[in-house]
Chain A
Amino acid sequence: MKKTYKIDVDCANCANKMEVAAKETKGVKDATVNFMTLKMIVEFEDGADVSTVMQDVLTNCKKVEDDCEIFL
Chain B
Amino acid sequence: MNKKQKKVLVRILIAAALLVVYALVPWEQMGSYGPGIKLVAYMVPYLVIGWDILRKAWKGIGNRQVFDENFLMAVATLGAIGCGIAGTGDYVEAVAVMLFYQVGELFQSYAVGKSRRNISELMDIRPDYANCLVDGNWQKVDPEEVAIGSRILVNPGEKVPIDGIVRKGISTLNTAALTGESLPRDVVEGNEIISGCINMTGVLEIETTKEFGESTVSKILELVENASSRKSKSEEFISKFARVYTPVVCYLALALALLPPVVLWVMGEAPSFGVWVYRALTFLVISCPCALVISIPLTFFAGIGGASREGILVKGSVYLENLSKVTHVVFDKTGTMTQGVFEVVGIHHNSMEEKELLRLAAHAEAHSSHPISKSLLKAYGGTLEPTILGSVEEIAGEGVVAQVENKTITIGNSKLMKRYHIAYTDCHSVGTIVHIAVDGEYAGHIVIADVEKPTAKEAIRKLHQAGIAKTIMLTGDAKNVAEVVAKDLGIDEVYGELLPATKVEKLEEILKQNQGRGKVAFVGDGINDAPVLSRADLGIAMGAMGSDAAIEAADVVLMDDDPLKIAQGIRLSRKCLRIVYENIYFAIGIKVLCLLLGALGIANMWAAIFADVGVMILAVCNAIRALWAGK
Q: Contact residues of A with B, CB < 8 Å?
A: 4, 10-13, 16, 19-20, 32, 34-38, 41, 63-64, 66-67
Contact = CB atoms under 8 A, between A and B. Distances in A.
A67 B53 CA distance: 11
A69 to B, nearest CB: 12
Contacts of B186: none
Interface size class of B (residues with CB under 8 A): 20 to 34
B290 A12 contact: yes
A64 B293 contact: no
Contacts of A35: 112, 294, 297
B63 A64 contact: yes
A55 to B, nearest CB: 17
B56 A11 contact: no
Contact of A12 (B63, B115, B227, B293): B293
A13 B289 contact: yes
A10 B277 CA distance: 31
B535 interface: no
Nearest to B289: A13
Interface in B31-82: 56, 59-60, 63, 65, 68-69
B225 A37 contact: yes
Contacts of A16: 239, 242-243, 293
A66 B59 contact: yes
Contacts of A67: 56
Contact of A36 (B68, B108, B226, B301): B301
A27 B315 CA distance: 27
Contacts of B239: 16, 19
21 contacts: A10-B109, A11-B109, A12-B108, A12-B112, A12-B294, A13-B242, A13-B290, A16-B243, A32-B231, A34-B228, A34-B229, A34-B297, A36-B298, A37-B116, A37-B227, A37-B228, A37-B301, A41-B229, A64-B65, A66-B56, A66-B60
A19 B229 CA distance: 12
A38 B119 CA distance: 13
B109 A36 contact: no
B181 interface: no
Contacts of B65: 63-64
* Residue of A13, A32, A38, A66 contacting most chain B CB atoms (<10 Å): A13
A36 B56 CA distance: 23
Nearest to A2: B229
Of residues A4, A11, A34, A36, which shows the largest number of chain B Cβ atoms within 10 Å of its Cβ? A36
B105 interface: yes
Given A63-B63, A63-B65, A66-B59, A12 B297 contact: yes
Contacts, number: 63
B157 to A, nearest CB: 29
Given A12-B293, A12-B297, 14 more contacts: A11-B69, A12-B112, A13-B242, A13-B289, A16-B239, A16-B293, A32-B231, A34-B229, A34-B297, A36-B228, A37-B116, A38-B116, A66-B59, A67-B56
Contacts of B60: 66
Interface string B260-299: 0000000000000000000000000000011001100110
B492 to A, nearest CB: 38
Nearest to B296: A12
B116 A11 contact: no
B71 to A, nearest CB: 11
Given A34-B228, A36-B301, A41-B229, A13 B112 contact: no
Nearest to A20: B243
Given A16-B239, A63-B65, A64-B65, A11 B226 contact: no
Nearest to A36: B301
A11 B225 contact: no
A13 B297 contact: no
Contact of B226 (A4, A13, A20): A4
Nearest to A66: B59
Nearest to A62: B63
B515 to A, nearest CB: 27
A37 B68 CA distance: 23
Given A36-B112, A67-B56, A13 B293 contact: yes
B237 to A, nearest CB: 12
B297 A36 contact: yes
A32 B297 contact: no
Contacts of A32: 229-231
Contacts of B69: 11, 13
A51 B143 CA distance: 31
Contacts of B225: 37
A2 to B, nearest CB: 9
Contact of B105 (A4, A10, A37, A66): A10
A71 B404 CA distance: 72
A64 to B, nearest CB: 6
A4 B65 CA distance: 27
B290 A11 contact: yes
A11 B108 contact: yes
Contacts of B293: 11-13, 16
A34 to B, nearest CB: 6
Contacts of A38: 116
Nearest to B224: A37
Contacts of A12: 108, 112, 290, 293-294, 297-298
B319 to A, nearest CB: 14
A53 B243 CA distance: 25
Given A36-B301, A63-B63, A11 B228 contact: no
Nearest to B65: A64
A12 B112 CA distance: 10
Contacts of B109: 10-11
Interface in B301-357: 301
A11 B102 CA distance: 12
Contacts of B290: 11-13
Nearest to B55: A66
A34 B315 CA distance: 13
